Amino acid sequence: MPSLQVDLGQRSYPIHIGAGLLSAPALWQPLRARALRLVTDEHVARHHLDVVRAQLDLDASSIRVLPPGETQKSWEQAGKLLDWLLQTRLARDGCLIALGGGVIGDLVGFCAAIYQRGVDFVQVPTTLLSQVDSSVGGKTGINHPLGKNMIGAFHQPILVLADTDTLKTLPRRELIAGLAEVIKYGMLGDTGFLDWIEAHLNELLALDPAATAEAIRRSCAMKAAIVGRDERESLTGGSERALLNLGHTFAHAIETHAGYGDWLHGEAVGAGLCMAADLSARLGWIGAADARRCIALIERSGLPTRPPADMTPQDFMRNMALDKKVAAGRLRLVLLRALGRAVVTADFDPARLAETLEHFCSAAHHSCPTSHG
């Protein structure tokens, strides 16, 4: 069982990766003596709730099953969860368990951050995207109609338990969406990993156990190292953690425009990575061949390479103006100075950004990414 550590002093925690972890008693043992509340969604509950419930001996009053989908990351749902925690009298020494994908992890983590000014929580990610990215690092939050993840808090889990067997029940569209975050890591900081992804893409699409575990391990190792050096994505003096948002400024604009749920987060990231690579090439920072290489890999994965057909450059600019990386009124983007070397910068030619937006919006040929998965 590969294990990694996120080194944050007293807030450090392990990431366990492997098959069959949900039914591994030793991993659950430290939690059994605590007051627990578990939150999951209907799809995940159908496949995985019983085994976790048995491991922790949870009764029905300690479990909350939500409808699936990005729309659950809302003030309304957060309020309902907080009501439930108060009604069931969870004390401050209790612990929340997020069993599900990024939506459940973000929502439960946010509630854990603000309930009684902070209680412990455990991430049990069940999608590829959440196993390689969102479950690690302590970013929690909910969406607002004006922007993706605009309300949230940094709140680290005490444990991440990534059981690769849960991916066997994942819809293919969700699996493909998770590959966007894997590809992101290779593009932003490790061309050797990018080479590896290209060579093993068919195995990843087939959920080969060894290739899948390796992709998760390498992605988590890169994120854990970055988070250990820059936990809260500092806006001053440069932010290494912000590099993890490669493609995400474009992606969040897509999700805000499309309405949360029509596009999966990873699908929007796929298109956003293409746009970031294209702009980096237009600026002369990477070669056109490098940009084409990235876009080709995203396309091979089955991810969208274009935004929604009805999205205009003006839609992008309006939504990107609310991005969390905006500082002193200036839009900052994560772009590629070289393949494998990302930077956060406001020093780009606005005319080149306009060209990228015009190119991708005018060439858009689909309105929903379902055909890609």
The predicted pLDDT at position 326 comes to 83
pLDDT in tens, 49-101: 999 999 999 999 999 999 999 999 999 999 999 999 999 999 999 999 999 99
Q: Does pLDDT of 369 surpass 80? A: no
Q: Does pLDDT of 164 surpass 60? A: yes
| Residue with tokens 């991430």, as numbered in its chain | 123
Q: Does pLDDT of 9 surpass 80? A: yes
Q: What percent of the chain has pLDDT over 90?
A: 89
104 is in an annotated binding site: yes
Domain termination residue (choose one: 142, 168, 194): 168
* Residue 373's pLDDT band (cuts 50, 70, 90): very low
Q: How far apart are CA 353 and CA 145, in angstroms?
A: 25
Active site residue 257: no
248 is in an annotated binding site: yes
Verify that 192 and 122 share a domain, yes or no.
no
Domain termination residue (choose one: 168, 197, 221): 168
73 is in an annotated binding site: no
* Residue 325's pLDDT band (cuts 50, 70, 90): confident
Verify that 93 and 116 share a domain, yes or no.
yes
Report CA-CA distances (Å) from 256 to 102, 104, 142, 363: 17, 19, 13, 20
36 is in an annotated binding site: no
Which residue of the set 37, 241, 282, 306 is catalytic? 241
Verify that 7 and 102 share a domain, yes or no.
yes
Verify that 80 and 210 share a domain, yes or no.
no
Active site residue 11: no
Active site residue 117: yes
Q: Does pLDDT of 246 surpass 90? A: yes
Which residue of the set 48, 73, 248, 332 is catalytic? 248
Query: Phi, psi at residue 52, to the nearest 5°?
Result: -70, -40
Q: How far apart are CA 178 and CA 285, in angstroms?
A: 27
Residue 112, SS3 per DSSP: helix
Q: Please tell me the least confidently modeled range out of 12-26, 37-51, 263-277, 316-330.
A: 316-330
> In the chain, which ranges are continuous DSSP H helix?
25-28, 42-44, 50-56, 75-87, 102-114, 128-129, 172-189, 191-205, 209-229, 248-258, 265-282, 288-300, 313-320, 350-362
Verify that 28 and 131 share a domain, yes or no.
yes
Verify that 14 and 153 share a domain, yes or no.
yes
At 5, list the tokens. Answer: 């550590």
The predicted pLDDT at position 196 comes to 98
Active site residue 324: no
Which residue of the set 48, 73, 265, 325 is catalytic? 265
Considering only CA atoms, which of 341, 340, 344, 343 is closest in space to residue 330? 344
At 159, list the tokens. Answer: 């444990």
139 is in an annotated binding site: yes
State mean pLDDT over 172-188.
97
Verify that 214 and 290 share a domain, yes or no.
yes
Verify that 77 and 200 share a domain, yes or no.
no
Verify that 126 and 186 share a domain, yes or no.
no
CATH code of the domain covering residue 62 = 3.40.50.1970
Q: Does pLDDT of 228 surpass 70? A: yes
Active site residue 223: yes
pLDDT in tens, 233-244: 876 656 899 999
The predicted pLDDT at position 234 comes to 72
Mean pLDDT of the chain: 94
Active site residue 366: no
The predicted pLDDT at position 66 comes to 98
Active site residue 233: yes
Domain termination residue (choose one: 149, 168, 187): 168
Which residue of the set 252, 282, 324, 332 is catalytic? 252
356 is in an annotated binding site: no
pLDDT in tens, 127-154: 999 999 999 999 999 999 988 899 999 9
CATH code of the domain covering residue 254 = 1.20.1090.10
Active site residue 265: yes
The predicted pLDDT at position 304 comes to 97
Verify that 50 and 176 share a domain, yes or no.
no
272 is in an annotated binding site: no
At 333, list the tokens. Answer: 């983007």
Active site residue 248: yes
Q: How many domains are there within the chain?
A: 2
Verify that 110 and 230 share a domain, yes or no.
no
Alpha-carbon radius of gyration of the chain: 20
Which residue of the set 223, 257, 324, 372 is catalytic? 223
71 is in an annotated binding site: no
102 is in an annotated binding site: yes
pLDDT in tens, 69-79: 999 999 999 99
State mean pLDDT over 199-206.
98
88 is in an annotated binding site: no
Domain containing 162 equals: 3-168
Q: Does pLDDT of 10 surpass 50? A: yes
Verify that 117 and 261 share a domain, yes or no.
no
Q: How far apart are CA 250 and CA 228, in angstroms?
A: 26
